[in-house]
Amino acid sequence: MKTAINKTMPSSAEGMSRVDGRLKVTGAAKYSAEYTPKGLTYGVLAGSTITKGNIIAIDTKAAERAPGVLAVITHLNAPKVPGDQPEKGKAADAKGALKVFYDDKIYYNGQPVAIVVADTFERALFAASLVKAQYKTEKHITSLPDNRDKGFPPRGEGTYKRGTEDAWKLAPFKVEQEYIVPTVTHNPMELHAIIANWDTDNKLTVWDKTQGVKDTQGDLAHLFKLPKENVQVHSQFVGGAFGSALRTWPHEVAAILAAKVVKRPVKVVLSRADMFTSVGYRPFTWQKIGIGATADGKLTGITHEAAGQTSSYENFTEGPTGVSQSLYACPNVNTKYHLVALDIATPTWMRGPGEATGAFALESALDELSYQLKLDPVELRLRNYAQTDPGSGKPFSSKFLNEAYQLGSDHIGWKDRKQEPGTVKQNGWYVGYGMGGGMFGAYRAGATIRAKFNADGTLLLQSAVSDIGPGTGTAMVLIAAEQLGIPAEKIRFELGDSSLPNAPTQGGSATTASVGSAVYKACADLKEKFQKLAGNGATNNPDYTKILKDSGLPSLEVVSETDGGNGMQKYAMNSWSVHFVKVLVNAATGVVKIDKVACVSDCGKVISPKTARSQVIGGAIGGLGMALMEESIIDHRYGRYINNNFADYHVPVNADIPQIDALFVNKPDPIINPMGAKGMAEIALIGMAAAVANAVYNASGKRVRDLPITPDKVMA
Amino acid sequence: MENKEAYPANDAAQDVKDSSRRNFIKQSTLLTAVALTPGTAIKAAADHIDEQIAAVFEKMPLKMQVNGKTQNLSVEPRATLLDILREQLDLTGTKKGCDHGQCGACTVHVDGHRINSCLTLGVMMNGRKITTIEGLANGNQLHPMQEAFIKHDGFQCGYCTPGQIMSAVACIREGHANSEHEIREYMSGNICRCGAYPNIVNAIQEVKDGGMAV
């Protein structure tokens, strides 16, 4: 592609700027809470103050009498959600999503017990504080380490074995260690929000923060027993999500119920504190790795155990041990995954789900092994490089991870790294280097594009897909510009609307591969239609506007559908990454400073260099937060988060982050789709936490196995 | 907002209102202080529109200039500048990210200085000049900082962007953009969860080094 990068490391100014950039820098981009349907009202949720038990009484009188209040809804007076009612042949207590205002049961602290609707936000917020519930409290459990003995294998994802179990134990060089990834919360900057309105008794419109308008449409149609076409979902701009908007949450249903009661549109915007309890999180996960190698660094066995937390009412799995099954060529691998049900809300997928957690343990353990072997960690990885997928034996659709290792180590100055830890000290700071990598499935799903070429030379592309920030519209416009040979500024991409043609939910790094394939096909179909119109003498670069003019047509339209491709049948398909980090560790305080970062992605062809670079840097910074500061802390005596705000839950700020170099192997994958593009969102984060931990060890000689790597742990 | 004010009161909800306050209004000598005849007020109470009258007492006048336009408003003392901008003036470019002054998404300029509008009560803004992201460009001509953010991709999802840009402009005006290190330090009150920090720094440096008027 002529728009693609021709070097491995673009600068921030290179490539086409975002197609929606102007809207975003002028404040004109409208997010879900920013629409004003006639008669708009405000809903504020009141949450449970206990962690487990039952509501025995709920006093809503004061709230009802407060100025401007239109309704106070609890489990006692809420309209029934048809889809929440028990189904015939299904156990009434079957596990599943939390049913809001369904009964008196409390499953976690902060669970919505009421929604107060008023004519202004201030009045609703005040009135919500007046709702008083009385509870019958039961003993709760919220700590995974204290309850690991209660673990159970999730259905279908419990154990895996190839070769001999625990073969690592017989190896001459071996490591066995435990690793902790704490609860980490997505915390996108935009608070989750919804405006719900019943247009008629059986027609619902929502402006909702969601990563998939079609999924949300389907969920709401099911819950409220409506035909899908009677549910309209708008989500044109999404202020980040990282997984938190992959499913339909209780506050969305609460807003829809409230709108039904007050017969007016209801807006619900979660508070930042709600963001910790209401829209998922990366689950606290305990892991243990046993890994062994021969004296020349050939892996002989890996045993990877993991126990992750879930809620008492729903099983959430994310496969943290998968990375140990596939990242390295190793003849003997066995893994075990357990869930521990706690009195907390259900976790959900967060950027690099499963792999980010698993790669912290595996890539840390590999680093520990490299020191035993006195072998360069990059060399150890190269000696166990998987040429084919170790799990399935299938060939990879493409894999250039070895080139990524080379690019990254050259760029960071890996040759300056000393194998002996704690030996380089400058001005009171230990200096060290570390690396860690990962993989994530390269997925592709079916998608449909409507493409309309107008007589004025403009092209309109339409898809229901959401864009939570990576720049989907920008990448799609670039694909169409390339395929049709027209300027990008003539192309408009419409998205985030459930009435538009089908697209998968934006998740799993699959959007460009999936929707991009449909754009590619729509352009090919459109071109063919033009060539047919032109008849004899049609060229490969038809003059579209002339053909329309000659034919007397105002426009030409195609609707093109692509499936998920069949590459997965024959190939193992993944994106790969490796992160190299140089850190400074303060000898007196244990403070870790990130000095230099080089992230290398092997994600096929890069479609949009500017936004791809930003996406990789963004993922890297998410990984640095996971490594150094992020942890949602529960006071287990009360089962309540105690750092549920941005002052106490630290995410990286500008001062924490140096320039980060994003490098791309940029070689097309010949299988996944005609563009050769694979996903990059997850791999940008996966492996980063281990890279930092490994660098901290190389600098200071202190191995930290429980994230985040805070100064107290470095000094301990 | 026009739509909301024009919407008829919800009768069912009015019926459950606090009767003590209704009685207070019926009996209050305060009524003589307003240009209402007692008869009108009593009739108003009987018609269950006393809450609207009470709301008048609870509100305070606010006159401020927003993006060059004078706004004469009547606001509750507890309403924040952020919520007044977003909910009453439909200036939704200013974002709510935490409502606690911890994230910077709500940054606006008051008399040229950056502040967190979520930590600022509207009634404190009498006579002040507010600039929001909507007022930064000169018509269709973007502010140099807006141009630089587009060029250097100083955002992904765009939600923190208005706050970042308002902060970035102030950062240069304050004289706090003299080095990469200084920019990072003085931009650390604006969180970007997508992780656009290096690009934001590049954008600010370009504007600063370009010597353009900000």
Across the interface, whether the CB atoms of A25 and B161 are under 8 A apart is answered yes
Contacts of B7 in chain A (CB under 8 A): 38-39, 264
ipTM: 0.97
Per residue in B128-180, pLDDT (tens digit) is 999 999 999 999 999 999 999 999 999 999 999 999 999 999 999 999 999 99
CA distance from start to end of chain B? 32
Number of domains in chain A: 3
Strand residue runs (E) in A182-270: 193-200, 203-208, 231-234, 266-269
Q: Are B195 and A620 in contact (CB under 8 A)?
A: yes
The C-alpha of A517 sits at a distance from chain B's nearest C-alpha, in angstroms, of 23
Rounded to the nearest 10°, the torsion over CA B177, B181, B187, B189 is -140
Q: Are A440 and A682 in contact (CB under 8 A)?
A: yes
Phi-psi region of A170 (alpha: psi -120 to 50; beta: other; left: phi over 0): alpha
Across the interface, whether the CB atoms of B97 and A190 are under 8 A apart is answered yes
Report which secondary-structure segment, H or E, holds A355. Answer: helix A355-373
User: Which of A23, A26, A61, A474 should we substitute to test contact with B (largest number of B Cβ atoms within 10 Å)?
Assistant: A26
State the CB neighbour count (10 A cutoff) for residue A47: 21
Nearest CA in chain A to B10: A70
Across the interface, whether the CB atoms of A240 and B4 are under 8 A apart is answered no
Which of A24, A8, A600, A610 shows the shortest CA–CA distance to B198?
A610
Nearest CA in chain B to A117: B13
- Pair (B32, B67) in one structural domain: no
- Pair (A649, A530) in one structural domain: no
Question: How far is C-alpha A62 from the geometric centre of its chain's CA atoms?
Answer: 41
Q: Are B72 and B61 in contact (CB under 8 A)?
A: yes
Across the interface, whether the CB atoms of A65 and B10 are under 8 A apart is answered no
- Pair (B72, B127) in one structural domain: yes
Q: Helix and strand tally (H, E) in chain B?
A: 10, 5
Q: Are A106 and A135 in contact (CB under 8 A)?
A: yes
Helix, strand, or coil (residue B11): helix
The C-alpha of A493 sits at a distance from chain B's nearest C-alpha, in angstroms, of 16
Report yes or no on A594 lying in a domain: yes
Nearest CA in chain B to A613: B153
Number of domains in chain B: 3
Across the interface, whether the CB atoms of A658 and B195 are under 8 A apart is answered no
Which of B118, B86, B113 shows the shortest CA–CA distance to B101?
B118
Q: What is the CATH number of the domain that holds B105?
A: 3.10.20.30
User: Which of B3, B7, B10, B182 should we substitute to test contact with A (largest number of A Cβ atoms within 10 Å)?
Assistant: B10
- Pair (A675, A604) in one structural domain: yes
In this predicted structure, what is the pLDDT of residue B41?
55
- Pair (B53, B67) in one structural domain: no
The C-alpha of A356 sits at a distance from chain B's nearest C-alpha, in angstroms, of 17
Q: Which of A13, A121, A653 sits opposite B83 (nearest CB)?
A: A121
The C-alpha of B7 sits at a distance from chain A's nearest C-alpha, in angstroms, of 6
Contacts of A291 (CB under 8 A, 6+ apart): A168, A174, A175, A176, A299, A301, A302, A303, A362, A365, A366, A369
- Pair (B121, B163) in one structural domain: no
Mean pLDDT of chain B: 84
Q: Are A682 and A512 in contact (CB under 8 A)?
A: no
Q: How far apart are CA B149 and CA B86, in angstroms?
A: 23
Across the interface, whether the CB atoms of B188 and A654 are under 8 A apart is answered yes
Across the interface, whether the CB atoms of B103 and A646 are under 8 A apart is answered yes
Rg (CA), chain B: 22
Q: Among residues A531, A564, A597, which one ends one of the domains? A: A564
Q: Which of A22, A65, A239 sits opposite B157 (nearest CB)?
A: A239
- Pair (A476, A539) in one structural domain: yes
Nearest CA in chain B to A681: B194
The C-alpha of A623 sits at a distance from chain B's nearest C-alpha, in angstroms, of 10
Which of B152, B69, B191 shows the shortest CA–CA distance to A610?
B152
- Pair (A116, A251) in one structural domain: yes
Report yes or no on A32 lying in a domain: no
The C-alpha of B207 sits at a distance from chain A's nearest C-alpha, in angstroms, of 13
- Pair (B65, B126) in one structural domain: yes
Q: Among residues A548, A564, A580, which one ends one of the domains? A: A564
Q: Are A441 and A669 in contact (CB under 8 A)?
A: no
Mean pLDDT of chain A: 96
The C-alpha of B173 sits at a distance from chain A's nearest C-alpha, in angstroms, of 19
- Pair (A557, A576) in one structural domain: no
The C-alpha of B127 sits at a distance from chain A's nearest C-alpha, in angstroms, of 23
Share of chain B above pLDDT 90, in %: 71
Q: The tokens of B176 are what?
A: 């706090």
Per residue in A165-219, pLDDT (tens digit) is 999 999 999 999 999 999 999 999 999 999 999 999 999 999 999 999 999 999 9
In this predicted structure, what is the pLDDT of residue B22?
46
**Residue numbers of chain A with a pLDDT score lower than 70:** 1-7, 92-93, 537-538
- Pair (B110, B159) in one structural domain: no
Q: Among residues B135, B156, B189, which one ends one of the domains? A: B135
Which of B156, B19, B189 shows the shortest CA–CA distance to A618?
B156
Q: What is the DSSP letter of A566?
A: S
Across the interface, whether the CB atoms of A67 and B86 are under 8 A apart is answered no
Q: Among residues B135, B159, B189, which one ends one of the domains? A: B135
Q: One-letter amino acid identity for B213? A: A
Q: Are A21 and A73 in contact (CB under 8 A)?
A: no
- Pair (A652, A519) in one structural domain: no
Angle at A681 between CA A678 and CA A682, to 5 degrees: 100
Q: How far apart are CA A562 and CA A553, in angstroms?
A: 27
In this predicted structure, what is the pLDDT of residue A624?
98
Q: How far apart are CA A130 and CA A65, in angstroms?
A: 10
- Pair (A624, A641) in one structural domain: yes
Q: Are B91 and B73 in contact (CB under 8 A)?
A: no
Rounded (10°) angle between helices A472-484 and A511-534 = 30
- Pair (A295, A429) in one structural domain: yes
Across the interface, whether the CB atoms of A28 and B93 are under 8 A apart is answered yes
- Pair (B38, B80) in one structural domain: no
In this predicted structure, what is the pLDDT of residue B212?
84
Contacts of B132 in chain A (CB under 8 A): 27
Q: Are A8 and A665 in contact (CB under 8 A)?
A: yes
Report yes or no on A398 lying in a domain: yes
In this predicted structure, what is the pLDDT of residue B12?
38
Rg (CA), chain A: 26
- Pair (A576, A520) in one structural domain: no
Across the interface, whether the CB atoms of A652 and B197 are under 8 A apart is answered yes
Across the interface, whether the CB atoms of B195 and A620 are under 8 A apart is answered yes
State yes or no: pLDDT of B125 exceeds 60: yes
- Pair (B33, B77) in one structural domain: no
Q: How far apart are CA A654 and CA B190, in angstroms?
A: 8
In this predicted structure, what is the pLDDT of residue A535?
85
User: Which of B157, B182, B197 should we substitute to test contact with A (largest number of A Cβ atoms within 10 Å)?
Assistant: B157
- Pair (B206, B158) in one structural domain: yes
- Domain with A474, as residue range(s), is 445-564
Report yes or no on A663 lying in a domain: yes
Nearest CA in chain B to A648: B102
Contacts of A655 in chain B (CB under 8 A): 184-185, 187-188
Q: Among residues A534, A549, A564, which one ends one of the domains? A: A564
**Tokens 């004109």 -> residue:** A28
In this predicted structure, what is the pLDDT of residue B54?
67
Contacts of B161 in chain A (CB under 8 A): 24-25
**What strands lie across the sheet with B107-110, from one edge to the other?**
B69-75, B60-66, B129-131, B107-110, B113-116
- Pair (B9, B49) in one structural domain: yes
Q: How far apart are CA A684 and CA A617, in angstroms?
A: 7
Q: Among residues B11, B35, B58, which one ends one of the domains? A: B58
Across the interface, whether the CB atoms of B98 and A238 are under 8 A apart is answered no
Q: What is the CATH number of the domain that holds A584?
A: 3.30.365.10
A587-616 residues labelled b (16+ CB within 10 A) or e (exposed):
beebebebbbbbbbbbbbbbbbbbbbbbbb
Across the interface, whether the CB atoms of A36 and B1 are under 8 A apart is answered yes
- Pair (A298, A433) in one structural domain: yes
Q: The tokens of B6 are what?
A: 């024009």
Q: How far apart are CA A51 and CA A137, in angstroms?
A: 8
Nearest CA in chain A to B85: A34
Report yes or no on A629 lying in a domain: yes
Report yes or no on A14 lying in a domain: no
- Pair (B123, B169) in one structural domain: no
Q: What is the CATH number of the domain that holds B198?
A: 1.10.150.120
State the CB neighbour count (10 A cutoff) for residue A199: 12
Q: Which of A122, A614, A647 sits opposite B199 (nearest CB)?
A: A614
User: Which of B133, B184, B193 should we substitute to test contact with A (largest number of A Cβ atoms within 10 Å)?
Assistant: B193
- Pair (A557, A583) in one structural domain: no
In this predicted structure, what is the pLDDT of residue B49?
57
Confidence of residue B13 (pLDDT cuts 50, 70, 90): very low
Per residue in A447-465, pLDDT (tens digit) is 999 999 999 999 999 999 9
- Pair (A399, A451) in one structural domain: no
In residues, how long is chain B?
Answer: 214
Question: How far is C-alpha A295 from the geometric centre of its chain's CA atoms?
Answer: 39
Report which secondary-structure segment, H or E, holds A532. Answer: helix A511-534
Q: Which of A26, A36, A660 sits opposite B90 (nearest CB)?
A: A36
Report yes or no on A166 lying in a domain: no
Strand residue runs (E) in A528-618: 555-562, 574-586, 592-602
- Domain with B121, as residue range(s), is 60-135
Across the interface, whether the CB atoms of A646 and B102 are under 8 A apart is answered yes
Angle at A664 between CA A658 and CA A670, to 5 degrees: 160
Q: Which of B94, B132, B198 sits opposite A617 (nearest CB)?
A: B198
- Pair (B69, B99) in one structural domain: yes
Catalytic residue list of A: 682
Q: With 0-12 CB in 10 A as exposed, 13-18 as middle and 19+ as buried, what is A169? A: middle
Q: Are A650 and A707 in contact (CB under 8 A)?
A: no
Report yes or no on A378 lying in a domain: yes
My answer on whether omega of the bond before A172 falls inside 30° of 0, hence cis, is no
Per residue in A87-135, pLDDT (tens digit) is 877 776 689 999 999 999 999 999 999 999 999 999 999 999 999 999 9
Mean pLDDT value across residues B44-54: 56
Q: The tokens of A712 are what?
A: 């107290």
> What DSSP line would sit under B116-179, residue for residue?
EGGGSBGGGGTT-EEE-GGGTSBTTB--HHHHHHHHTT--SS-SSHHHHHHHHHHHHHTT--SS
